[in-house]
Amino acid sequence: MPNLAQHQSNEQTKMLIEGDSKSGKTGSLASLVSAGYRLRILDFDNGLDVLKQFVLRECPDKINNVEYRTLRDDRVSTSEGPKVSGKPRAFITAAKMLDNWKYDDVDLGRPADWGPDCILVLDSLTFMSDAAFDFHEALSGETKSGKHDIRAVYKSAQDAVEHVLAYVTGESFRTNVIVISHVKYMDIEGQIKGYPVAVGSALSPAIPRYFNTVVRYTTKAGGKRVIETVSSTVFDLANPKPFEMEKQLDVEDGLAKIFETLRPKPQIMKPKLRRM
């Protein structure tokens, strides 16, 4: 019978990062690369430019420790506004890669088996949710009026996104996970609360429950960007080591300090990149 000292949180960190646009979320990943972690990023935002520049400045010798795949459905302009060109594939492609990270001449095996020196990053939940909606809208049939049942599309997309979160934060997924999200401010019984942006509004308040670590990125007076680890009236955060973790950390090295507090420093290993 396992005891509490053997709990799986000793081996993997499952983290949700919440923050407004341009609060330093993606660029801050560089501190984890510098600390020796290997990052594999599902890039729905097409916004890794800043991460590249930070890695080249801080730890250029480790730039090959970051593997990514950008997943965005192309759009075309129509008389009814921009629409997805062809069949939406971004979400279903991401789902397949979460089972087996394999494309072109790259084969990294099962993400669930990468281990504690590796971090899967979903950047961002916001745009992954958009991709899920587009995918399920394309699958949906039309009603008698000739239009989609939009409520059914939202429900299917919400379920799909929640299944992804349940999978990557589950005990069988033996790899660290970081999910990055923008913030949606909602009025909950007269109080403004900040939640991750997802499909619609119903899913957003449920998302943090899947993560053992929830932090918030914000910009203080004077333009200083920080990571907050303590809850406020607007944000309900989660800190597995409240007696050891700093309440506020600099964006530049905060993620590395959080991981250092939560777990042993990863062994420096060569990238396990297999070419077919």
Q: β-pairing, 75-76 with 106-107?
A: unpaired
In-domain check, residue 224: yes
What is the reported pLDDT for 276? 47
In-domain check, residue 273: no
Instruction: List all residues 6 or more positions away from 146 whose beta carbon is below 8 Å from its beta carbon.
Output: none
The first and second tokens of residue 169, run together, are 């934060």
In-domain check, residue 158: yes
Provide mean pLDDT across the span 92-98.
Answer: 98
Q: How far is residue 188's CA from residue 165's CA, in Å, rounded to a whole number? A: 23
Side-chain-side CA neighbours of 101 within 13 Å: the count stands at 22
Statement: residue 6 has pLDDT above 60: no
In-domain check, residue 212: yes
What is the reported pLDDT for 271? 47
State residue 14 phi and psi, 5-degree precision: -115, 110
Q: How far is residue 250's CA from residue 169's CA, in Å, rounded to a whole number? A: 26
**Residue 125, Cα to own-chain centre: how many angstroms?**
6
Q: How far is residue 250's CA from residue 255's CA, in Å, rounded to a whole number? A: 9
Q: How far is residue 96's CA from residue 119's CA, in Å, rounded to a whole number? A: 18
**How would you class 29 by CB atoms within 10 Å of its CB: exposed for 0-12, middle for 13-18, buried for 19 or more?**
buried
In-domain check, residue 269: no
User: What is the tens place of the pLDDT at every residue in 165-220?
Assistant: 999 999 999 999 999 999 999 998 999 999 999 998 899 999 999 999 999 999 99
Q: What are the Cα distances from residue 16, in Å, to 109, 122, 145?
A: 24, 10, 41
Q: What are the Cα distances from residue 248, in Å, to 14, 79, 165?
A: 19, 48, 26
Q: Tell me which residue has tokens 């090295």.
A: 253
DSSP state of 42: E
pLDDT-based confidence at residue 267 (cuts at 50, 70, 90): low
What is the reported pLDDT for 227? 98
For the chain, the domain total comes to 1
pLDDT-based confidence at residue 143 (cuts at 50, 70, 90): low
Q: Tell me which residue has tokens 């000739």.
A: 146
CATH number of the domain to which 251 belongs = 3.40.50.300
- Would you say the C-alpha torsion 234, 239, 244, 250 has a positive or negative sign? negative
Q: Which residue range forms the structural domain that includes residue 128?
A: 8-263
As a dihedral over the C-alpha atoms of residue 248, residue 251, residue 257, residue 258, rounded to 10 degrees, the angle is 70
**Residue 240, Cα to own-chain centre: how many angstroms?**
19
Statement: residue 251 has pLDDT above 80: yes
Q: How far is residue 88's CA from residue 137's CA, in Å, rounded to a whole number? A: 9
